[in-house]
Amino acid sequence: MSNSVSSSEDLAVLLSHQLFRALGDPTRVRLVELLAERCRACSVSELADCLDVDISVVSRHLALLRAAGVVRANKVGRSVFYEIQYQAVTEALRGIADLLERASEDFNVAGACVASEDCRP
């Protein structure tokens, strides 16, 4: 198997639709920003106070971010606190960047991308 095919397969694994869906919404991006600005875990109600969105909507957005591995939740009493999973997000984004860089290098060496057999008409 060639290096470029392996890279594209690796890229497909890293390009999780959940991650991009989670980060593709302005409210969810703002939630990540709020958590990063505070450098600590925050409750759903604390985050909702900073947004013009109902607490139930904030909770659903955080659940989607959690499912994508962007944040983790910790229940303390009746409150749920969320924090960014910095290492997991960094590794995913770095992996995507590394694979795209390798694909770009392969493209520059070959002068073009070569379609795999399963993608040709």
pLDDT, tens digit, 9 for 90 and up, residues 61-94: 999 999 999 999 999 999 999 999 999 899 888 9
Tokens of 58: 């904030």
The DSSP secondary-structure symbol of 71 reads E
3-class SS of residue 80: strand
Q: Phi first, then psi: what are they for 26, rounded to 5°?
A: -60, -35
pLDDT, tens digit, 9 for 90 and up, residues 24-54: 999 999 999 999 999 999 999 999 999 988 9
| pLDDT reading at 59 higher than 60 | yes
pLDDT class for 112, splitting at 50, 70, 90? low
Tokens of 66: 């959690």
Separation CA 49–CA 106 (nearest Å): 48
pTM (predicted TM-score): 0.75
**Cβ-count burial 79-106 (b if 16+ within 10 Å, e if not):** ebbbbbbeeebeebeeebeebeebbeeb
* Dihedral angle, C-alpha 45, 50, 54, 59, nearest 10 °: -50
Q: Phi first, then psi: what are they for 82, rounded to 5°?
A: -115, 145
